[in-house]
Amino acid sequence: MPPTARPLSPHLGIYRWQLTMTLSILHRATGIALAVGSLLVVALLLALASGPERYAQVQGFCASPFGLILLFGWSWSLCFHLCNGIRHLAWDTGWGFEIPKAYFTGWSVVLLSFAMTALIWICVYSRGGLT
């Protein structure tokens, strides 16, 4: 880096909290949460390959209160990251940068992510929940 002291843009604390920045931050946060959550995918598949005892252990963990909290969080993270990821891909094509559009797609992502999460858990509990 050159030693020249350049003016820096102000950090987060100075801005009014708004939807677009919230979703941008959440996109990263949910991405990291999902990267950690992929460990559960590994655990589930390895257990399925290992035998019924291991599989029962993983199932038991998922159905425990702590497991359920993680699954709720991860399912919403997945829905949000998926919907907002599509929003990002639309931006990559150059579409949707106008402020009204960015807000419309932003709120759509919020609503859709909660609706998808609700749908997933309705499917889970309409058939007896996790065992």
Partner 1 sequence: MSAAGNDLQTPLKRVRGLGSAKSGTHHFIVQRVTAVALIPLVLWSIWFALKLMHADYAHARALLHEPLNAVLSIAFVIALFWHAQLGVQVVLEDYVHTKWLEVSSQILVKFLCVLGALACVLAIVRVALA
Residues that bind partner 1 (CB under 8 A): 2-3, 28, 31-32, 34-35, 38-39, 41-42, 44-46, 48-49, 52, 55-56, 78, 82, 85-86, 88-89, 92, 120, 123-124, 127-128, 130-131
Helices and strands (H, E) in the chain, number of each type:
4, 0
| 93 DSSP 8-state letter | T
Helix (H) or strand (E) holding 45: helix 19-50
Considering the complex, what minimum distance in angstroms separates the CB of residue 109 from partner 1?
Answer: 14
From its phi and psi, is residue 104 left (phi > 0), alpha (psi between -120 and 50) or beta?
Answer: alpha
> What is the nearest approach in angstroms of partner 1 to the Cβ of residue 122?
11
Minimum Å gap between C-beta 100 and partner 1 is: 25
